[in-house]
Copies of this chain bind each other. A is one copy, B any other.
């Protein structure tokens, strides 16, 4: 089981504040020092649409390529992938939506066109020496179309898996799933043969229960965002991704070795709190990991 830190991308892209490249690199460096082995560092989408993610090439150029960490970049189409492959990043995270409306609004493309783009990217990646991870977003519910039929997600997953990605991730983008739902869909998709991951938002406080249910389903990856960074543009008061440090606390309690130094990790949201000028959603950095008191 691996953790992928998505704070510098999925987290920061939902912040109102636009952080300069150097600050984003500082965040990544701090995360890299905690034992995390996979970090989503940049987004190769149109910077006019997501100004928080402008400068993806500069971020990629500033990474320490010798630190043994797998750095990931998001792409929503082949144009994004073409940019990413020039940077030397080790992994592309390609995202397609399970619903037509979300696909149009998020990627400006139909689901069909996104699947086709995903198939091409997944088939090109091995020649480029790039790992390919494909995320199906709004896999449980869509802010525009409501609950999503699991059969639709499985049908999309079948096409993605047929293209041969290194991994398929189901994302509960707006945080509506409940644990049994998450476990069942991950089990169905896992049966298709590719390694499967879960990406949960804690918008309705089910994110950690879903992550636990995903463990029961045997996922090989969980995404998380330091401090719980990352809201949802469709629900301004809603919270973000499951917080990495809280997930590490849960995983270690479950006997899943994460390789992360929790004491060092909780220093990152403490630093971010000052940087962003507000309390973050993560709890462990506030309550502290559990230790005996005198």
Contacts and interface: CB of A to CB of B under 8 A. Distances in A.
Contacts of A178: 249-250, 253-254
B206 A250 contact: yes
Report how many copies the assembly holds. Answer: 2
Contacts of A249: 178, 204-206
A287 B254 contact: no
B287 A235 contact: yes
A181 B212 CA distance: 12
The main secondary structure of chain A at its interface with chain B is: loop
26 contacts: A141-B290, A144-B292, A176-B290, A178-B250, A179-B209, A180-B253, A202-B205, A203-B283, A204-B246, A204-B249, A204-B283, A204-B284, A204-B289, A204-B290, A205-B208, A205-B243, A205-B246, A205-B249, A205-B283, A209-B209, A209-B212, A232-B287, A234-B293, A235-B286, A237-B286, A238-B286
Interface of A: 141, 143-147, 174-181, 202-206, 208-209, 211-213, 232, 234-235, 237-239, 242-243, 246, 249-250, 253-255, 282-284, 286-293
